[in-house]
Structures are given as structure tokens and as C-alpha cells.
A and B are shown apart, each in its own frame.
Chain A
Amino acid sequence: MTVESKIAVETTNLSYISPSGKKLLDNLNCKISKGSIVGILGDSKSGKEIFLQTLNKIIPTFTGGIVEGKIIVNGLNVMEHTVNELAREIYTILEEPSLQIVQTIVYDDVAFGPSNMQLPTSEIRRRVDFALESTRLSGYEERNCYTLSGGEQQRLAIAGGIAMLPKIICMINPFSMLDPIGKKEISAVISQLNKNYNITFLITDGGQDIEILARLSDELIFMDNGKIINRGPPKELFSGKYEIDMRFPEIAELFTMLDGNITRAEIPLSVSEAVEFLTKLLRGKRQKISKTSKEPDKISKKVDPIITVRNLEHTYPGPPPVKALRGISLDIYPGELVAIIGQNGGGKSTLALHLVGILKPTNPEAIITVDGIDVPNASTMEIINHINYVFQNPNDQIFTEKVWDEVAFGLKMRGLNQEEIRKRVQETLRLFGLEQYANEHTAFLTPGIKTLLALASVAIMNPRILIIDEPTGGLDYKEADHVLKIIQALNETGKTIILITHDMRIVSKFTSRVIVIHQGQILLDGSPSEVFAREDLLKKAYIEPPEIAQLARELGLPLDILTVEDMYKYLRGVLSWSG
């Protein structure tokens, strides 16, 4: 009689040396129990993604380099099998979903894995239906995969993995491109698959979606420089007893800030736990405090708007035609830092591409005026002196070999003299903290540096307005914070900034105004506190307020409490702590 092992993954002295000779994994010894959900956290240099990719031999099969040590996955010695042989046991969902699509039609793409497993057609159909329903893609069966938005493609990649029902699913930053409700739904799918099919999940994150992982995971592993630094249940790791070089979940951060002033048994990680604790604490002690968040009245609306859009419509040609924008009208004022939010595929990027003249309205009566320029009738050269756009994926934008040349490109195109170019490039590299990378090859930069480079190469052209599409997508929390500080600094120099984002923390912390777009129309437009107060409407656009805003609403506190700092100040005031 054989006893089935309870271990899903076991690594012994696992090391990986890249083809360039760098040791990216350093003697990892790790056991992961079957049926558990494990979050693997760390910055972009921690080696967390590399660790997951060694488990099904993507590394070194496709990357080269040397893997040392032993990896056992569900009793199989990984080094003795090929990637496709391991596919029945372990499936990895890579970070860039568009590159994981192997068919043109949604249904076919999800069915591709089960079809390779030679399952009967009826079983393939059952699994595809289940996977599509689980990922909110039912009804998309016949859609062309490449016409899906980034978030929809992410869900498709996940559906492709789910349909194979492997015993272990590895996910590399799976939430990075999803709208808030999408994140919640994918978390629910993970829980459901884990519970019903006992699938083990290994999920990486750079700290951007730590709230989700903290609630979802049975265990968290922190990695740094290819090593495991800490591991344990989330409540223990965020209890404040450990030194963790990582952003804490908002609720945990709030409670660790309150430590010393309150006595608690364990750290709350969810809004409901925090509500339960704080309700008792606040009984009879509520008070009104002054506004804490940035409000739009900082910007004088007496000045003329810098962007005026009236009745903008855009229909992508079919058949059938897709109405992406349905009569958008808005004004944006000089110096504003505006967030455009909404569900994946809701029309945010289409609107942005109209503002820079890449797309033209499909209704002739539409008006788009940017800094006095009639955009639909202006040349690109004229437009980019006033407004520019930083693409979501920096790889779409970077096209020269060296960082210096990339930053200098726009100025060269304008025909500036060499001395002027040299001076401005140096200044921009310094401002963006890119000086040390000036002579590096753009293909080998980390995602965070690529994002900064894409931003720098547009900002150097000095437009008055910058549209930045998902500036923190795929970055770890340190890189994201750095990028956001630079964006804030640009805004402080007087530039009008429009951020397209799914990250509600960014919205609440950095922006003064939020525009919610839903199905090609403006659903809400106001300050973050005004917008986050309309939870009923937000749900329609697959948006969920940040956790602190939810907590404030649940506790009946002022709705302008949006950030951990706001809440801490409020609670300190109410409870008269000296802290």
C-alpha cells in the first residue's frame, strides 16, 4: 500500500544561475502542502517569478541557464520530464496574457489545453463552459481574442488554465490588469477551485494587490534576492512582529499604526473584521473632522478648461459595429490630476486615444479641443506639442537600443541641435532617476525601469498635458511608488495629468478628481470621496472603493476618509490618542 504524499511541491537546495551568470535563486528549500493557496511576495528582483517558472521547467527550457537542486511536483521529479508532460500536473499563467493566447477565438483558446490532453469533445465543452463562466467570459465564446481588452485577455489566460484542471496552478501577478470587481471574481474562482477540486495555487504579487493575497492565502512567502526571507499565515506575518520589506494590506497597516493604543488578539485583514473591532471601540465616540483628502476645489474652475470634449462618439467598424464611446462630454482644467477609471473594455483607452488624435470621432459633430487645438483636424506634430500619451505597455513605446537614444528620440524628431538635446536628456534622466541606465540596452531593463523610461521619453517633449495609461501595471509596490512620486512631481510643475488606472489606492491617494467610464459613457465625475460614496453606481462599472473607504462607509464615518493616514488621523482624533 502506498501512502499518498501531502506535499504538492518540494524543492531542495534549488538554485538558478542565469545565462549571464547571475544567481537568481539561492538554495531554496521549500515545501508546499497539497490543496493550499500560497502567496509569494517580493519585489521585481526577489526571484519569485523565476521560482514559479522552475516548477514546470519553463526555466531553464526556454531561458537557458543552470538549475541546481531538486524539484518534486506531485511526486514527479521535474528535471526528468518535459514542460508539456508536466502540463497535466502544473499550469502556469504568465504575466503578459496576450502572449499566452494560442488561438484566434476565445472558445478555441480555452479548449486548446484540454484538446491536447486528448479528452473527449463533450468533456472539453463542459470544461470550457465552466472556465468561461468562472472568469466572467460567458458570451465571449466566438470573440476574436485579440479584440479583447487587457483585463479580458488576463481572464482568458486564467480560463485556459482552469479548463485543464491541473493539480497545481501557478499565477504570475494575475490581478495586475484586472478591474477591482474582476480581481474579486478571480479570487472567488481561485477559492472555489481550491475548495471543490483541491487545486494548489501559487500566486505571485509585487505588493500591489497584497490585500487580495492576504485574504486569499493560507500562507505567504516573502522572497528577496532569490531567497525565502519569511513565511507563515498572513495574520501572523502582518501582526507587526516581523520585519517585512513590503507594503502591508491597508487594514493591517492601519491596525499596526494603532498598535500601542489598542489591544487586539490578532490583526484584522478584511473590512468586516476591522468593522467588528472598531464598532466596539468607537461606540459613542464619533466626531466630525475636517476634510482630509485632496479635493477638486484646489483647481479653480474659473479658468478655461484645457480639454473640452463634447458629444464624442466612436464606433469601431464591424460587422457588427462596436460602439465604444457614446456621447462623452467633459472638461478638464489646467493643473488637474484626474483619474479615469472603469471596467476593462469600458472605453477609457479609446477616449484617451481621441484626445491625442490617434483615433478620430465617428460622429462629425463631436468637439475635442485640447489647449486651444481642434484635435480631430490638427496634425499629430501640432497635437503633441500640447498633449501626449504614455502607453500601458512600455514595450509598445520603446524602440531604440539604448536608454539615452530612447529619451532623445522625440527631440531629434523635432530637429533640435545636439547640444540642446544632450542638455535636456541629461536633465530628464536625472529627474527620472535613470542616469545609471543611460547606456543600457532597453530590452534588458526591468518592468519598472521600462515604465519610467517610457514616461521620461514622452515627458521630455514637454507637453502641457500627459495621459498615462496604467502607470503601475506589472510593477512591484516600490517601483509603483517611485513612478507615482514622479508623476506627482510632474503635476506639481503645472502639468495636467490624466491617469488611466484600476488601482483605487492610487485614485484615493494621488488624484483630485475621478471620472468613471462605463460602456462608453461617463457614469460619475467628481472628487474621489464623492465618487467612492456612490457604491451602487460603481458596481455597475466593476469598481470597488479602496478598503479604507469601505471601512469608513461601514462604520458610518465621514466619506472623505479614503486612505490609511486619513483613517488613522480620524481615529486618533476621536479616541484622543497622543500617538
Chain B
Amino acid sequence: MVWLEYEHKNTFFHNRLTGLTKLIMTLVIIFMAGFYWDLRYLGVLLLFTICLALLSKIPWHWYRNLLIVVLLMTPASIQLGSLWMVRSEYFKVLPREFTSKVIIHIGKLPVVGETALTYGNAYWTASFIIKIFISIMALYFFIYTTSVSDLSYSLQKLGIPSSIIFLISCSYRFIPLMLRRQQIVTWARSLRGWRIGKNPIKVIYNVGPIFFSLGLSAYNAVEQTTRAVSLKGFDVKKKTTPIRDIKFTYIDYVLSLFFIAVFAISTYLNLVYNIGNI
């Protein structure tokens, strides 16, 4: 099953937009998710990103994996929120009487001092989790709709040096390769009676061999990829011909300008009027 890699589909985003436009859209969404903390704005952004993901026909199991990532990160986010955001003066927009109201008192911790889970912390944590959700969804949208060659060509258009493009392209295809490899390796292990177990020491002991094998595969894959691209005449110092006739259409111009404008306006409003802050 494909995860974290491009798949050809007959959608508007796959076929009508260039990689550059999609890159601009994705970066704008991620940046906006980065500086917005207000749940109302994040909610709108989340809705928009979900629409993008649905329209680009991202397979359902991608969402399942996203939920797993978010669920795994939630306890850490709550902990982070309760440790760092306990002081109500950190909040610039939300009323202090609301942000400082304690839900659970944790107590005094070394270095950090007094800690507690307050409404402010809970709000911050919820925003943090939604930010992760939006950012990953935006990345999903980009990865699923943009092929390696499309990405390379877009980066080339932006004037990014070929050596950096090569590194980005390699990692873009390397991650799914390793994910596939990890799946086969896990199957092979389970057929030899391998199981993770519940005892944490045993978990480390049992997972060790997988890392040995994956490490070896990763090393081989990097070496073989470098070999393969050299065999096909790739030279970081030279430009390449675009594989497809990728032309910027008016839709690309309109969408790119729209997203850049939205980004500029929202950044201005955020910096000057605190819109989107908490």
C-alpha cells in the first residue's frame, strides 16, 4: 500500500497544477498553521486542508496513519503545554482569568518550577495538535499530488541549486522505499516468530535486529541510488530537460498569487494586530 508517495490520479491537483503552485500552497498552509494559535482560524484552515486532501483523493489509510501520529504526540503535547505554558502572562489575547484557571495542579518540578494544567494550557495544546494535523495534511496533499520529476522541475524553476534538488528528490523517494522495505522485513520477522513483546527491555532487544537490517538497507539504498543516477548521466552541475511539458497556466498564476496574497495579509494582521494569536 502506497504511503507518503506520489500516485497518479485523475484529479485537478494532480493534472492541472504545476509542482511549484502546489509547493506554494503547501508552504503557505504550513506557515499559516505555524503562526496561528486561535482555534477559530485554525479551524478554518483545517477545514480547507481537509477539502484539499479529499479532492486530491488521498487514500483512507493515510488518514489512519495521521491519526496514529497525532495520538502518539498528544501526551507529549499536553506535557509540554502544562510545563511551559503555565504562566498566564504568556497569553496576549485570551483573558488571564480564563487562561490561568487550573484544571489539574501538578506541583513544583525541578528547573521548571510550579506546573499545572490550566485552561490556557489546554487551549494551547488543542491548537498545537491541530497545527500538527494541518501541517501533515498539507504535506500529504503535496506528496500525493506531486511526482519527483515535477518537484525537481519546480525547484529548478525557483533557482535552487541542482545539488540541493538532488538531495531533496532522493529523500522524497527514499522514505517510501524504506517504508516498503520495513514492511517486508517485518513480515519476514513475524514468520520467524518475532514479536515486539510488552516488556520494555525485551522490546528494545527485539526491535534491535530490525534497525540493523534497515540500517544496512538504508546504506545500500543510498549507495545504489547514487550509482543509479550516475549511470543515467545525472550531474549535479548540469541542468536537465523537464521530462514533461510543464507550463504555468493562468490557474497556476491565479492560485499562486492568491495564496501569496493571503499569506502576506494574514502575516501582516498577525504581526500588527495580533489576529490569530492567543
Q: Interface of A with B (CB < 8 Å)?
A: 56, 58, 61-62, 82-85, 87-88, 91-92, 94, 96, 99-105, 107-108, 111-121, 124, 142-144, 146-147, 160, 164, 316-319, 353, 356, 358, 380-381, 384, 388-389, 391, 395-401, 409-410, 413-414, 443, 457-458, 461
Is A100 a contact of B231 with CB atoms below 8 Å? yes
Picked from B61, B185, B224, B229, the residue with its CB within 8 Å of the CB of A399 is: B185
- Least Cβ–Cβ distance between A134 and chain B, in angstroms: 17
- Among B90-98, B127-135, B176-184, B266-274, which stretch is in contact with chain A? B176-184
Picked from B2, B185, B194, B226, the residue with its CB within 8 Å of the CB of A147 is: B2
Picked from B176, B231, B235, the residue with its CB within 8 Å of the CB of A91 is: B231
Alpha-carbon gap, A420 to B148, bound state (A): 52
Q: Please tell me if B163 contacts chain A, counting CB pairs below 8 Å.
A: no
A-B pairs, top 4 by smallest CB distance, nearest first, are: A413-B193, A87-B233, A142-B8, A399-B213
Q: A113-B232, A114-B241, A116-B234 are in contact. List 18 more A-B contacts (CB 8 A).
A: A99-B225, A101-B228, A102-B229, A103-B173, A104-B5, A104-B176, A108-B244, A111-B149, A112-B149, A112-B243, A121-B244, A317-B61, A319-B57, A358-B191, A397-B188, A399-B188, A399-B189, A400-B209
Known: A62-B227, A118-B239. A396 touches B232 (CB 8 A): no
Alpha-carbon gap, A111 to B246, bound state (A): 14
Is A381 a contact of B193 with CB atoms below 8 Å? yes
Is B149 a contact of A105 with CB atoms below 8 Å? yes
Is B1 a contact of A116 with CB atoms below 8 Å? no
- Output the nearest chain A residue to B177 by Cβ-Cβ distance: A146
Beta-carbon contacts of B46-78 to A below 8 Å, as 1s and 0s?
A: 000000000001011100000000000000000
- Among B37-45, B79-87, B100-108, B215-223, which stretch is in contact with chain A? B215-223
Picked from A108, A144, A388, the residue with its CB within 8 Å of the CB of B243 is: A108
Is B225 a contact of A391 with CB atoms below 8 Å? no
Residues on the A chain within 8 Å of B2, using CB = 144, 146-147
Known: A99-B225, A111-B149, A115-B242. A87 touches B188 (CB 8 A): no
- Least Cβ–Cβ distance between A261 and chain B, in angstroms: 50
Residues on the A chain within 8 Å of B60, using CB = 317
Beta-carbon contacts of B122-146 to A below 8 Å, as 1s and 0s?
A: 0000000000000000000000000
- Output the nearest chain A residue to B149 by Cβ-Cβ distance: A108
Q: Please tell me if B171 contacts chain A, counting CB pairs below 8 Å.
A: no
Alpha-carbon gap, A56 to B190, bound state (A): 41
Q: Please tell me if B250 contacts chain A, counting CB pairs below 8 Å.
A: no
Is B148 a contact of A103 with CB atoms below 8 Å? yes
Is B191 a contact of A144 with CB atoms below 8 Å? no
Is B9 a contact of A116 with CB atoms below 8 Å? no
Is A118 a contact of B191 with CB atoms below 8 Å? no
Is A461 a contact of B192 with CB atoms below 8 Å? yes
Is A84 a contact of B225 with CB atoms below 8 Å? no
- Least Cβ–Cβ distance between A17 and chain B, in angstroms: 20
Is B233 a contact of A84 with CB atoms below 8 Å? yes
Is A105 a contact of B188 with CB atoms below 8 Å? no
Residues on the B chain within 8 Å of A107, using CB = 243
Alpha-carbon gap, A410 to B192, bound state (A): 5
Picked from A164, A396, A398, the residue with its CB within 8 Å of the CB of B233 is: A164
Is B212 a contact of A87 with CB atoms below 8 Å? no
Is A119 a contact of B241 with CB atoms below 8 Å? yes
Q: Please tell me if B264 contacts chain A, counting CB pairs below 8 Å.
A: no
Residues on the A chain within 8 Å of B224, using CB = 94, 96, 99-100
Alpha-carbon gap, A317 to B221, bound state (A): 27
Is B57 a contact of A87 with CB atoms below 8 Å? no
Residues on the A chain within 8 Å of B192, using CB = 384, 409-410, 413, 457-458, 461
Residues on the B chain within 8 Å of A316, using CB = 1
Residues on the A chain within 8 Å of B243, using CB = 107-108, 111-112, 115, 121, 124
Is A144 a contact of B193 with CB atoms below 8 Å? no
Alpha-carbon gap, A96 to B220, bound state (A): 11
- Output the nearest chain A residue to B229 by Cβ-Cβ distance: A102
Alpha-carbon gap, A144 to B8, bound state (A): 8
- Least Cβ–Cβ distance between B62 and chain A, in angstroms: 11
Known: A91-B231, A396-B188, A443-B216. A116 touches B193 (CB 8 A): no
- Output the nearest chain A residue to B227 by Cβ-Cβ distance: A62
Residues on the B chain within 8 Å of A116, using CB = 232-235, 238, 240
- Output the nearest chain A residue to B180 by Cβ-Cβ distance: A146
Known: A99-B225, A100-B231, A102-B229. A384 touches B191 (CB 8 A): yes
Is A62 a contact of B223 with CB atoms below 8 Å? yes
